[in-house]
Structure 1
Amino acid sequence: MSTSVAEKLAKKSNKRQNTKQVRLKLVYIDFWSALKLSFLAAVAIAIITVVFFFLVYTVLQQTGVFEQINNLFKTVAGKEAQDGNDLTAIFDLGRIMGFAAVLAILNLVVVTALGAISAALYNLAVKVTGGVLVGFTNN
């Protein structure tokens, strides 16, 4: 006797599943845990920032966008640009990656501090509000 897949699914849907639901209040966030987690997130963002700047620079360099901008600058500036002012010297890989590194370090400090401040502010707000009610189930 062969049963179809639809019949098996119908039999399963008629069964009542015993799902247990639990409601808990989040009343405290550990400061050091939030600090470490925000630091790890900031490290990931810093790595993404540096890789992003490198990839964008490489694409713009390979497509010749910097050369076109430099030619436009020389055309608009005229004689002053012919005396050695060159935009490609300003937009070299070393300066772009240096800027990306400085931006990544600044971002690292800011994101870590924001994570720590957020945890501290949440812990202060819990004293007034009583916390956030969170529901969990065992599905």
Structure 2
Amino acid sequence: MSTVADKLAKKSSNKSSTKQVRLRLVYVDFWSAVKLSFLAAVAVAVVTVVMFFLIYTVVSTTGVVDTVSSLISSLSPSFVLKSYLGLPQVMAFGAVVAIINLIVVTVLGAIAAAVYNLAVKVTGGLLVGFTSN
């Protein structure tokens, strides 16, 4: 009498033939690369804004802003640091940094796709191997 476990053991002892395929990547679609780099830049922009908020919250809660503000006001009484280093100013600066980063990363993705497509004409492309298990 053969059980299911015996059948599975017999089946696993047979060596399965794996197929290997070697493909050459010879073209990266420009607009797909731009869209993908834009999506990655949006994710980085959100992380940047959240990071600015968290760092400001930690620095403000620990009293570093008050200490530095009192130190600067003792040196120059007319300068008030808190008017320049409030939460709205920090978040506005974080948003500007995130927008600039969004533009730069998107442009770099487009440039990378264009450079790869030009380099393929010289090198022949990237050889990629795939296997099936």
Interval of TM-score (by shorter of Structure 1 and Structure 2): 0.7 to 0.9
Which of 89, 92, 107 matches 1:95? 89
C-alpha distance in 2, partners of 1:90/1:31?
42
AA in 1 matched with 2:81:
L
Superposed displacement of residue 136, structure 1 = 0.9
Query: In the superposition, relative to structure 1, how do residues 22 and 89 fare at CA in structure 2: closer, same or farther (>3 Å)?
Result: same
Partner of 1:111: 105
Partner of 1:67: 66
AA in 2 matched with 1:94:
P
AA in 1 matched with 2:71:
L
C-alpha distance in 2, partners of 1:121/1:42?
19
Which of 104, 111, 122 matches 1:128? 122
C-alpha distance in 1, partners of 2:15/2:95?
57
AA in 2 matched with 1:67:
D
AA in 1 matched with 2:44:
I
C-alpha distance in 2, partners of 1:18/1:51?
50
C-alpha distance in 1, partners of 2:36/2:65?
39
Q: Is 1:55 aligned to residue 49 of structure 2? A: no
The size of the alignment, in residue pairs, is 131
C-alpha distance in 1, partners of 2:11/2:120?
43
The root-mean-square deviation of aligned C-alpha atoms, in Å, is: 2.4
Superposed displacement of residue 12, structure 1 = 8.1
Structure 1 unaligned spans of 5+: 1-9
TM-score normalised to structure 1 length: 0.83
C-alpha distance in 2, partners of 1:15/1:56?
58
